[in-house]
Structure 1
Amino acid sequence: MDFPDWSSLLDTKNEVLSILDEVLSLGGAAARFDLDTALLGALPDLDSMAVVGLINIMEERFGFVVEDDEIDGSTFATVGSLVDFVNGKLA
């Protein structure tokens, strides 16, 4: 039975939260988000320009490239869906 690498998941989550905090100017509030925290539609500052900013910083920090056809609104639905996306790109 394969178990997830919890430390890697936690590291990815923490980095994603840091990026969200930075791009959306949340002043540290993202540190209280969990995997179920809604993003798109729940955070007023998460508009199309912020999504572009998030993608750019994720590409820089994680060292991957995001193609236009790889993402849609569901990618940014929750913290968990965004972390899953990043982990999928890193796999």
Structure 2
Amino acid sequence: MVPEGMNAVEATVRDVLRDVLSLPQEQVDGFSADTELFGALPELDSMAVAGVLTELEDRLGIVIEDDEVDGEMLETFGALTRFAAERALV
């Protein structure tokens, strides 16, 4: 069962990755929960991570503390989406 609002959060994460990383829509549409991000997408370097997180904060109205950011939450599309949903859907 998908929590209410989860689809909206997932769509927002896709939009942020597309916009911040300048990825083609077709590539982002193909992301599954297991799609690797950090280390697999050359566009997602340490500087881009800051942009992605800032944009997620703005679009979802959430706050991401520095100590919450780690490699696991950026490892896959699913992990990043779950992280964003945990903050946005409270």
Matched letter for residue 7 of structure 2: L
TM-superposition CA deviations, 1:6-40 (whole Å, max 9, x none): x5222211110110011110121211111111101
Normalized against structure 2, the TM-score is what? 0.90
* Paired residues for 1:39-54 under 5 Å: 39-54=37-52
Instruction: Say which one has the larger Rg.
Output: 1
Match of 2:17 among 16, 20, 25: 20
Q: Which residue of 2 aligns with 1:73?
A: 71
Q: Does 2:34 correspond to 1:36?
A: yes
RMSD: 1.2
Q: Which residue of 2 aligns with 1:87?
A: 85
Runs of 4+ residues deviating >4 angstroms: none
Unaligned 5+ segments in structure 2 are none
Query: How many correspondences in the alignment?
Result: 88
- Rounded to whole Å, the distance in 1 between the matches of 2:7 and 2:66 is 26
Normalized against structure 1, the TM-score is what? 0.89
- Rounded to whole Å, the distance in 1 between the matches of 2:79 and 2:87 is 12
Unaligned 5+ segments in structure 1 are none
